[in-house]
Amino acid sequence: MALDPVVLAQELIRCPSITPVDAGALDHLQAVLEGFGFACNRMVFSEEGTPDVDNLYARLGTTAPNFCFAGHTDVVPVGDEAAWTVDPFAAEIRDGRLTGRGAADMKGAIAAFAAAAAGFVETHGADFGGSISLLITGDEEGPSINGTKKVLGWMQERGEALDACLVGEPTNPTTIGEMAKIGRRGSMYADLTVRGVQGHSAYPELADNPLPRLVQMMAAIENDRLDAGSERFPPSTVTLTTVDVGNAAGNVIPAEGFARYNIRFNDLHTGEKVADWVRGHCDSVGGEYDLGIRISGESFLTPPGPLSGILVAAVQAEIGVSPVLSTTGGTSDARFIKDFCPVIEFGMNSDAAHKVDESVSVAELESLARIYRRVLDSYFTTDS
């Protein structure tokens, strides 16, 4: 193989790129890609109230079709470092497993992207009738404001088109080849603040306690359900993530109470309709309240077609299994890419992502690189 994905994964893991810090990860990836002929563009995006984020768009070739690998080099914090059995950024290999923050999510997949592209170019040369690109952000684990979405806008302004995209998020529950993602549910945060009048708990008639109304609104939401699922999606979920009053005194009726929901909704809904659903339950109780809505992504689906067919065939040819085409789990930057081209997600296993001693099998990482290489071979030798 022209580029060893395991070695590159180790080099990337050794860059402690906890969102939004890059710590040299993109510099190293850029140097590797430029060594194989990629033209690299770096861009830092900013927005008030959010950290600046460094991003990389690398492309080999100038003609269509443009096959893109997309992902992120930023990682979540390590948590309790003392709970790790190894240094989380040492990228040690023990008993056939590479351990380190980002091994699964998703520096392993990025290394596999680069190895697949390097091997493809070594075999076919730079003139293969199309382009290969990598869109890599440092903002996926954070607010996702100054990352992929803005890179896509930059590309659009320059006339850079994508024809297909494979996102390397960890999609397999436990073993490589189990699952690919062809869509995701939408995600919404609903912040509910119920207001009243503060007072002495011995004289409730002189106050207006907001908490009973908050409890009633929460009960109305909890006792209903959005749906039972759709043809391609599991049921929507409504999850209460916090309830806060901020009342340190046991003899004071508080002036307000707060609850936050995270709602994952399928293709039977839009974010606006889900917001109306929440608001309707609050209105049914009445009283003064504020409802803050933030939609971080709508649901989307790339129906099974040529792109998923190429990926499934590559997995079958390499490891002899056929991945389930799923829409389960959280959200990803594919929610931005789907507006530009067909997109599918396939990467390492998700069972260790974000955990202490995050790790991947070295053998499975090498298999992933070979699967990506087969995808490129098929994409550029068939009518995609």
pLDDT (tens digit, 9 = 90+) per residue, 212-222? 999 999 999 99
Q: Which is catalytic among the residues 11, 22, 54, 74?
A: 74
Give the pLDDT confidence of 110-146 residue by residue, as tens digits. 999 999 999 999 999 989 999 999 999 999 998 899 9
DSSP conformational letter for 204: G
Q: Which regions in the chain score pLDDT beneath 70?
A: 1, 382-384
b/e per residue, 269-280, with b = 16+ CB within 10 A? bebeebbebbee
Q: Are strands 343-345 and 164-167 parallel, antiparallel or unpaired?
A: parallel
Full set of structural domains in the chain with CATH = 5-184+299-379 (3.40.630.10), 186-297 (3.30.70.360)
Q: CA dist 166 to 70, 145, 239, 346, 375, Å? A: 6, 21, 30, 7, 10
What's the confidence (pLDDT) of residue 4? 98
What's the confidence (pLDDT) of residue 1? 60
Q: Which is catalytic among the residues 140, 256, 345, 364?
A: 140
What's the confidence (pLDDT) of residue 329? 87
What's the confidence (pLDDT) of residue 2? 86
Active site residue 140: yes
Residue 196 corresponds to which amino acid?
Answer: G
pTM of the model: 0.91
What's the confidence (pLDDT) of residue 381? 87
**What is the dihedral angle through the alpha carbons of 75, 33, 166, 150, rounded to the nearest 10 degrees?**
70
